[in-house]
Each structure stands twice: as structure tokens, then as C-alpha cells.
Amino acid sequence: MRRVLIATSNPGKLRDFAGAAQVHGIEIAGIPNFESLPTPVEDGKTFEENARKKAEEYSLAAAEEIVVADDSGLEVDALHGAPGVHSARYAADEPHLADANTDDEANNARVLRELAQVSPEKRTGRFVCVLAAARNGKTLAIFRGTAEGIILDAPRGSNGFGYDPLFYFPQIHKTFAELSPEEKSQYSHRGAALRQFLDWHEKQFPR
């Protein structure tokens, strides 16, 4: 089975990737000794800048392997696109200066506070995921997926991570936290970006 390494220690992300890649005959694995590697500074102003930086730097630790890194987050229209690239650190006093992720519940709580006076029809937003595939320190390709939804006023579901419990997907009348990994890979931003990557991988490296 062909293998692709994912630059993350987040079990939720690894689950998301593995669920979509299985049907393509691709094994998803984490980078060996990932926790001991230096962490790239995610100082890009866009998801693509951060994804490229992570993929290129981490691919240097896995010679000749294809390494995929993602940068993803929630864009809320009523918050002018926030939390955006700061989604994982949004609960910090100054998210753009924070050097570590903040707790999912705290991040969700801040979004709920900031949307407290916003009417339901204006609580629109989207999840964005940009994947970068790199090998030996060079980006090979970039893929972008989005999912449009509505931000609820209270969390629902226990399967997801990040903002999944607040993100209601009207198409199926569920939040992302109410979906199985297989369902989520079908509808999510990360699933959309990953399918693009898998199609590209299939053409570049046929079985």
C-alpha cells in the first residue's frame, strides 16, 4: 500500500485523513518522532502560507516521502472572517502572538460570546482547509476545500474537534460533531481538499 505522511499529532485530523484515503489504497501515517521535531512558526497571513511552510519544513525530516500539511480554520462572516488563520489560538488574549494552541472549548466560547448579539440568519461562515504536499523541502502542489454552514448558539455532538460542535451543515441538518469520520470526510472542508490531493496523487503516482 502506498503511504503518505501527515504532519500532525492531532488524532482527529489523522482520523479525517485516513477515512478518505482508505478507498484510494493509500495508507495515512504520522511522521515518525513528530513530537520531537521543531515546530514551524505559523506566522503566515493565509492558510496557504502556513500549510506550505509546515509541509516544506516537516518534509525535510522524512527524506523522499510525500508529506502533507494542512492549515485550516473557521471564517465567520459576522466577525469579518475571524477566527481565520488564528482559529486554533483564538482564545488567547492576542491570538496572532500566541505560540501555542488554546483549548477547543475556550475557542468555541469566545466565538459564542462574540456572536451573542448576532441574529441566526447572519451567523454564516465556512470551514476552510488548505493542504500542501511537499517532498524534500519543496512544495509539489496545493489543494483547497471549503464547507459553508451556520454557527449555532450552543454546541451539538461529541464526535468532532475544534469548532465542529458549533458548525451546522444545512445540507444534512447536522453539526460536524454529529457525523461519523466517514460522513465527515464526505462533507467537510478537509475531505474536499483531501479528495483533490488523492486525485492528484493517483495521477502522479499510479499504482
Choose the catalytic residue: 71, 77, 153, 199. Answer: 71
**What are the residue ranges of helices labelled H in 60-188?**
104-114, 181-187
From the CB of residue 148, how many other CB atoms can be counted at a distance below 10 Å? 13
Which of 67, 17, 73 is closest to 45 using CA atoms? 73
Q: At what angle do helices 189-204 and 11-21 cross, to 10 degrees?
A: 50
Q: Terminus-to-terminus CA distance in the chain, angstroms?
A: 9
* 71 annotated active-site: yes
From the CB of residue 16, how many other CB atoms can be counted at a distance below 10 Å? 27
Tell me which residues are annotated as active site.
71
